[in-house]
Amino acid sequence: MHEMSIAQSLLALVEQELQLRPGSRCTVIRVTHGALANLVPEAFELAVEALTIGGPMQGVRLELRLLPLRLKCRACGHEFEPEQKRLGPPLYPCPQCDEELGHTLVQGKELFLESLEIETD
């Protein structure tokens, strides 16, 4: 359900950007989300659709880009992108030295509006 609050924040940001460019219309919204941002694409698309029906942004297309999880090994400092596991214990052995514990998260929690496609009258 938090997709609805995130969609509201997103549309508020888009409106701010459009106000800076009078007479423009947004046709595509590009959002980048990390693998750990817990964003469910289907729920997010539905929320954006529901919030734009009947308004100036009705029919806007949402393009989502997923950033994979990226970790830095505690033991050897090697950076790697483990396969996101659905099954099994949450252990991500370093491909260089096999260390499983204590890695630092380098990428995966991002959630941002990346760009807009706009048309101007």
Cα separations in angstroms, 18 against 6, 14, 82, 96, 100: 18, 6, 38, 47, 46
| Comparison of 38 and 96: residue with beta carbon closer to another protein | 38
In the complex, the residues that contact another protein under the rule CB under 8 A are: 1-2, 5-6, 9-10, 12-13, 17, 21, 31, 36-38, 74, 88-91, 100-102, 105, 109, 111-120
CB of 58 to another protein, least distance (A): 20
CB of 71 to another protein, least distance (A): 11
Using an 8 Å Cβ cutoff, are 39 and 111 in contact? yes
**Distance (Å, whole) CA 93 – CA 80:** 10
| Comparison of 38 and 58: residue with beta carbon closer to another protein | 38
